[in-house]
Amino acid sequence: MESGEITSIEKYVRATNYLSAAQIYLKDNFLLERKLEFKDIKPRLLGHWGTCPGINFVYANLNNLIKKKKCSMMFILGPGHGFPALQANLFIEETLGKFYPEAKVNSKGMEYVIKNFSWPYGFPSHTNPGTPGAILEGGELGYALSTAYGATLDNKNLIVACLIGDGEAETGPTATAWHLNKFVDPKNNGVVLPILHLNGYKISGPTIFGRMDNDELISLFEGYGYDPIIVEGSDAELYHKMVHALEKSYNEILKVKGGFSKHLPMIILKTLKGWTGIRKLRGEKIEGNCLSHQVIVKNAKTSDVELEFLEEWLKSYNFNELFRKNKFIKEIEKIIPRRNLRMGLNKHTYASKNYRNLKLPNISKFARNENKRGEIEESCMKMAGDYLNEVFKLNEENKNFRMVSPDETYSNKLDSIFNSTGRAFTMPIKSWDKNIGENGRVIEMLSEHSLQGLAQGYILTGRHCVFASYEAFIEIISSMADQYAKFLKASKEIKWRKGVSSMNYILTSSGWRQEHNGFSHQNPSFIGNLLEKYGCDIRVYFPADGNSTLAVLEECLKSKDRINVIVAGKTVEPIWLSEKEAKKELKDGIMIWEFASDKNPDIVFASAGDYLTKEMMAAVDYLRKELPGTRIRTVNVIELTSIGIGNKDNKIDFEKYFTKDKPVIFNYHGYPDDVKEILIDEKECGRFKIHGYRENGSTTTPFDMHVRNGTSRFHLILEAVQMLRQRKAIDEKKAERIIKEFESKLTEHKEYIIKNGVDPNYIRLWQWQKDI
């Protein structure tokens, strides 16, 4: 190790520390060419200082390693609130100036960067889509490590250095993500180098890891399957030890990839929180304490004492020695890698550059097109599994398609994919284990958080992924999905962000067929949560049958820059539409089912969701027989944003489908309020009766789930008769007879299932009748 190497790193860190602090405080006098005054201070002091010095220290040392080894390395920053530090590094390495011409490396560019941090219409306070080289939104903690592992999949020569804060390490998503080393084989994929930064404090108190001794830390992470290297000591020792630790880590990575070692390295870095900042203020310990977490001298714009502290602090970096003649000195430039190796410009972080279309099979190969509407039955998920199996086959050579699922591929009837791939697993495999091995392209782990991170990392580095889950438990990653939706929305305004494949969720094993697992498994709230994201390109699909599922799946895998949610069951259910009809309905998102409709209807039935559609069709079937003079229209909604829900700017011609004034009964898969929202703006919205999941469930029978929530064919018939009677569209005596009949059926059904444990045959074996 040369002394000049350490000197260059130290000067680089001093420069980035100055730039980090300056971004938080200064709106003028950026080079401290005169005495600091109140007018030089920003009116609102925003940002986080405490983690910045550690970020700068790590980034500088990684640059030094890249320069020496000429390796491809990506940087993922867990503590996104340390954005001033990341911004400072991107500025010095000239990456920022490539995307923001005003940020060239000179005094004017420095002024632009410092002034615009946390400034209206400037740079946000956290890592964001506008950050070159970033594939992680920095506003919410916990997702860095899983995203890093996702980025390494199928990127054999990539190292992802992932900096994890010790506060972040307390989150559930990070806690599970340590185990992803059991699913990512380093011989055929890239490698994550986790760097756990222990500065000891969160916002107002100590961190757990910060108070553990070294023996505890080593035991913990060795148990996780890593080879931990602890870097700690005095300032001088830290610089030497970090260079050595990264050299050792790099060599160990090569050994693991060559099959000569088992455990991948990780680094545990211990530095003071707010390192190199103000040590004490008004008798309070600042450096090495939680008080350095955010803005330290908060009153620097109004207090002479605090302004003086700030000036002394900024001058301690001797920035004028580091930035001369409008550029950084040679010692700093010395450790900046050449352009194509700079972390901010790593090609894998720019998805559109790596994007390749999936090779997709023709869905005709898997569709059921027999002319037996409602009589042919098939599982939506079984058909989807057959299709996805072919997708895996067609893209085997490209290695740009994966699926993640929380241990549910078999349960969700998608196991046809195991005809062409398996489940990834690097731990010991028993002789009786099925479809499991190092090279599988399906990752199953009982942590939806880790799977979401994997999917994001994989997609944002230019590849394609499907995330299949039980509907009830996908809700655990709602916050992650929210963050991702924000990332995509913001990316619309950034040219170099566009062109990533869509995040595709398959939600199955829905609450309507989780009657055997009970109330805990009955929860469609993920749908409503995403539909609330106004302005985000989110599509929620409710294919009514297997052919519709294939059409939707093809559309989703072709799409870009979206979040797609496919909600479909796994049980065997009727095929309602031909392949051609399914594609036609998908085009508009909604369709009048002419085969079950009359012109000039007296009443309109509508549905969204396979099981809800079946109940609607059973109700329509009965009414067509019992009330032959009543004209009925049947409407199916395959995609909710087509009628404005989730996208208020894209509404259909409402009257075309729902008439101007006729009563409408809508049977909907999720919570009724999802649909009611769009009707607020519609005239005479009182004519709409929305049925859906009303949080009524238990361990019961499939049909009783509909009964409990008012979505059964019985309830739809009763409501239709009441509405028609109110409009004097049917005979009063006939209405009374039908009402009495179905009120009795509801009572009889409850008695029957209590006695027999299953629904009666006339419910379970019902089929659509073509002719009245």
Whether 720 and 665 have beta carbons less than 8 Å apart is answered as yes
- Each as own residue / partner, the long-range contacts of residues 483-488 (CB below 8 Å, 24 or more positions apart, any chain) are 483/137, 483/139, 483/140, 483/143, 484/137, 484/452, 484/456, 484/563, 485/530, 485/533, 485/536, 485/538, 485/563, 486/137, 486/139, 486/536, 487/128, 487/129, 487/137, 488/536, 488/537, 488/561, 488/562, 488/563
Scan for tokens 């390495």, then name that residue.
Answer: 93
H-state helical runs in 640-701: 654-658, 673-679
DSSP code for 243: H
Fold of 592-764: Rossmann fold (3.40.50)
DSSP per-residue letters across 434-467: -SEETT-SEEE-S-HHHHHHHHHHHHTTT-EEEE
Please return the burial class of 82, using the count of CB atoms within 10 Å of its CB with bins 0-12, 13-18 and 19+.
buried
Whether 640 and 646 have beta carbons less than 8 Å apart is answered as yes
Supply the Cα-derived Rg of the chain in whole angstroms: 30
Higher pLDDT, 472 or 371: 472
pLDDT tens profile 551-607: 999 999 999 999 999 999 999 999 999 999 999 999 999 999 999 999 999 999 999
DSSP per-residue letters across 718-765: HHHHHHHHHTT-S-HHHHHHHHHHHHHHHHHHHHHHHHHSS--HHHHT
DSSP code for 389: H
653: number of Cβ within 10 Å: 7
The answer on pLDDT for 771 being more than 50 is yes
Element (H, E) at 579: helix 579-588
Distance between CA atoms of residues 395 and 464, nearest Å: 10
Name the percent of the chain lying above pLDDT 90.
91
Extract the tokens encoding 718. 């009763």
Q: What phi, psi does 392 have (nearest 5°)?
A: -60, -45
The answer on pLDDT for 648 being more than 60 is no
Spell out the residues 6+ positions from residue 524 whose beta carbon is closer than 8 angstroms to its own.
Answer: 471, 510, 511, 567, 669, 670, 671, 693
Check: CATH 1.10.760.10 for 3-335?
no
Q: Which of 428, 246, 275, 334 is nearest to 8 (CA)?
A: 334
Extract the tokens encoding 84. 């001033």
The answer on pLDDT for 246 being more than 90 is yes
Q: Which of 708, 556, 540 is nearest to 639 (CA)?
A: 540
If you classify domain 355-574 with CATH, what class do you get? Answer: alpha beta
Strand (E) positions, 239-330?
264-270, 280-281, 284-285, 323-324, 327-328
Q: Which of 676, 745, 750 is nearest to 713 (CA)?
A: 745
Extract the tokens encoding 263. 């455990």
Q: Are 355-574 and 592-764 the same fold in CATH? A: yes
Whether 675 and 668 have beta carbons less than 8 Å apart is answered as yes
pLDDT tens profile 703-741: 999 999 999 999 999 999 999 999 999 999 999 999 999
pLDDT value at position 35?
97
Extract the tokens encoding 729. 């569209």
pLDDT tens profile 3-21: 789 999 999 999 999 999 9
pLDDT tens profile 398-450: 999 999 999 889 999 999 999 999 999 999 999 999 999 889 999 999 999 99
pLDDT value at position 532?
86
Distance between CA atoms of residues 333 and 15, nearest Å: 11
Distance between CA atoms of residues 109 and 103, nearest Å: 4
Extract the tokens encoding 506. 């398959």
> What is the bridge-based pairing of β-strands 590-592 and 632-637?
antiparallel
pLDDT tens profile 193-241: 999 999 999 999 999 999 999 999 999 999 999 999 999 999 999 999 9
CA angle 80, 83, 86 (to 5 degrees): 110
Question: Packing angle between helix 83-92 and helix 107-116, nearest 10 degrees?
Answer: 160
Q: What is the mean pLDDT of the chain?
A: 95
44: number of Cβ within 10 Å: 11
pTM of the model: 0.96
**Per-residue three-class SS string for 608-619:** ECHHHHHHHHHH
**Window from 162-166, 246-250, 481-485, 651-655 with minimum mean pLDDT:** 651-655
Extract the tokens encoding 260. 């000569």
pLDDT tens profile 512-530: 999 999 999 999 999 999 9
Distance between CA atoms of residues 351 and 458, nearest Å: 9
Distance between CA atoms of residues 713 and 526, nearest Å: 26
Whether 511 and 705 have beta carbons less than 8 Å apart is answered as yes
Spell out the residues 6+ positions from residue 418 whose beta carbon is closer than 8 angstroms to its own.
Answer: 389, 409, 434, 435, 442
pLDDT tens profile 528-553: 999 888 778 999 999 999 999 999 99
Distance between CA atoms of residues 701 and 759, nearest Å: 6
498: number of Cβ within 10 Å: 14
pLDDT value at position 684?
54
Domain ranges of the chain: 3-335, 355-574, 592-764
Distance between CA atoms of residues 152 and 125, nearest Å: 27
Name the percent of the chain lying above pLDDT 70.
97
Instruction: For residue 772, name the pLDDT band (cuts at 50, 70, 90).
Output: very low
Distance between CA atoms of residues 467 and 473, nearest Å: 12
378: number of Cβ within 10 Å: 18
Higher pLDDT, 1 or 576: 576
pLDDT value at position 685?
64
The answer on pLDDT for 651 being more than 70 is no
Element (H, E) at 563: strand 563-567
Instruction: For residue 262, name the pLDDT band (cuts at 50, 70, 90).
Output: confident
Q: What sign has the CA pseudo-torsion 712, 713, 719, 723? A: positive
Whether 395 and 425 have beta carbons less than 8 Å apart is answered as no
3-state SS, residue 88:
helix
- Name residue 644's amino acid: G
Q: What sign has the CA pseudo-torsion 548, 554, 559, 565? A: positive
Which CA distances in Å does 28 have to 116, 293, 298, 318, 688? Answer: 11, 24, 17, 18, 60
Whether 363 and 551 have beta carbons less than 8 Å apart is answered as yes
Which CA distances in Å does 236 have to 7, 25, 89, 233? Answer: 10, 28, 22, 8
Scan for tokens 């829900």, then name that residue.
Answer: 645
Extract the tokens encoding 329. 């000195």
Whether 51 and 82 have beta carbons less than 8 Å apart is answered as yes
pLDDT value at position 1?
57
